[in-house]
Structure 1
Amino acid sequence: MRHLRRVPQLGRPADQRKAMLRGLTTQLIREGRVTTTKARAKALRDEVERMITLAKEGSLSSRRRAIGYIYDKQLVHALFDKAQDRYGDRQGGYTRIVRTVPRRGDNAQMAIIELV
């Protein structure tokens, strides 16, 4: 049974899953848009919104948590500088997921996740 199992497994062991989500989070914050599968996009949404919320808070402790998660240190500093201006009046919902055509080969549902 899946009672209280909120973490999407994504068909990977825990260490690979965490590394994949960290890489996708870094890429999404850097580029603003990532094309991936729908399941990965939904899992990625939680992580990106957590990082943006930390950036809006702006404390030293939240900056250290973000540096520990995002692979690029300079990207973290840029995110913390711009987050309050860009998302200051928003109470969440910093990303948008748009479904696209299925992937050739395995027919996986694809989606574009982008920052609002």
Structure 2
Amino acid sequence: MSVRVRRIYDPPEPDDGLRVLVDRLWPRGVSKEEARLDEWPKGLTPSTELRQWYHGGGSYEEFRRRYGTELEAPEAAELLDGLRKAVQNGPVTLLTGSKRPGESHADVLAELLRD
């Protein structure tokens, strides 16, 4: 079971497995051909309000808590379950445009998928 987080700006690698964009907005400067995405589940992304709060100076720990609550909503929970099933079938790479992927929603998702 392999889940990793990478920046969408990094070139695809052969061992990426299923490539999933976990950002609500399409990243600037990346074409769909370059991205080589398999999935783009926008319903798994943080709400606009939460994203703006976090980028406005909110703490990462509080962001994690609030995002976890958002992931309990029916649509997000269903999408998360789908990714859990995908992880059982091979590697999954969560892609984000975040400059700090280790302190982003992608990292929260990766941890949930690894549990």
With normalisation by structure 2, the TM-score equals 0.26
Larger Rg: 1
Structure number with higher relative contact order (C-alpha < 8 Å, ≥ 6 residues apart): 2
